[in-house]
């Protein structure tokens, strides 16, 4: 789900003339996930389970980008980093959405999907390495997360109607729908690793911008949850 993050160190042999676009995007990718964490901490909204998961997702993303963007860590295999953190994000997102879907059989299905996907991914990484099926696994995870986010959003629309914009889960689901839809669309434009360096570079920059927008949605979610009164539901 996070293959674009490797591109700033593998697909951008640009001449340094001050702060380049990849450098700026790396800086934003590190900074934006920190903002929801600060808001959650200062406003003590970690008392709600799904906000804990949101904070952990943001923390994982910040750590991942620190590892990727720090020049002194250039020797680290970026594919391994992306796969480990990507799997962690997948697990946390599924648990987050599971908090707001009340239908028992859907919650059980999400639990089954989580176990199945995690088992398959870990098995493939252990037996075949992290490079061979990285894109296919990321694409499958993006498809699953897109479906789950849509289901969660439909649940919110049915329950909240006119008050949906006051729900932090609306912003979380909306940001993920936006990102994973674009991830899948860009994945279909040329095969991973093909299409030329320029095309891959353009796709990576586009996805980095969309990912930044996703974290802006997460910031909105962290802010909105504090504007709700306790008489409303947790999501």
| pLDDT tens column, 56-91 | 999 999 999 888 877 666 567 788 888 889 999 999
Q: How far apart are CA 51 and CA 109, in angstroms?
A: 22
Task: Provide the pLDDT for residue 1.
Answer: 54
**140 pLDDT more than 90:** yes
Token readout for 86 is 């990507």
Return the domain boundaries, the chain.
21-224
Is 58 within 8 Å of 66 (Cβ atoms)? Answer: no
| pLDDT tens column, 174-185 | 999 999 999 999
Q: Which of 106, 214, 88 is nearest to 152 (CA)?
A: 106
Task: Provide the pLDDT for residue 123.
Answer: 92
Q: How far apart are CA 208 and CA 202, in angstroms?
A: 10
| pLDDT tens column, 197-233 | 777 778 888 888 999 999 999 999 999 885 444 444 4
Q: How far apart are CA 151 and CA 226, in angstroms?
A: 24
| pLDDT tens column, 41-50 | 888 777 777 8
CA distances from 181 to 43, 67, 195 (A): 31, 26, 20
């Amino acid at each position: 789900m996070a293959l674009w993050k490797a591109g700033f160190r593998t697909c951008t042999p640009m001449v340094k003339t001050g702060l380049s676009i990849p450098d700026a995007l790396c800086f934003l990718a590190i900074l934006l996930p920190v903002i929801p964490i600060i808001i959650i901490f200062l406003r003590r909204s970690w008392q709600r389970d799904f906000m804990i998961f949101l904070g952990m997702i943001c923390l994982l993303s910040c750590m991942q980008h620190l590892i990727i963007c720090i020049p002194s860590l250039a020797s680290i295999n970026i594919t391994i980093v992306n796969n480990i953190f990507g799997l962690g994000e997948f697990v946390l997102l599924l648990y987050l959405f599971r908090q707001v879907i009340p239908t028992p059989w859907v919650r059980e299905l999400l639990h089954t999907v989580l176990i199945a996907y995690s088992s398959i991914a870990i098995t493939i990484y252990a037996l075949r390495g992290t490079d061979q099926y990285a894109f296919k696994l990321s694409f499958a995870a993006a498809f699953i997360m897109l479906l789950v986010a849509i289901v969660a959003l439909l649940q919110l629309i049915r329950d909240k109607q006119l008050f949906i914009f006051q729900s932090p889960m609306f912003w979380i689901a909306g940001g993920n729908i936006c990102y994973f839809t674009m991830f899948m669309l860009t994945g279909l434009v040329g095969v991973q690793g093909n299409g030329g360096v320029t095309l891959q570079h353009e796709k990576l920059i586009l996805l980095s911008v969309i990912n930044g927008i996703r974290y802006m949605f997460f910031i909105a979610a962290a802010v909105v949850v504090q504007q709700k009164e306790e008489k409303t539901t947790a999501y």
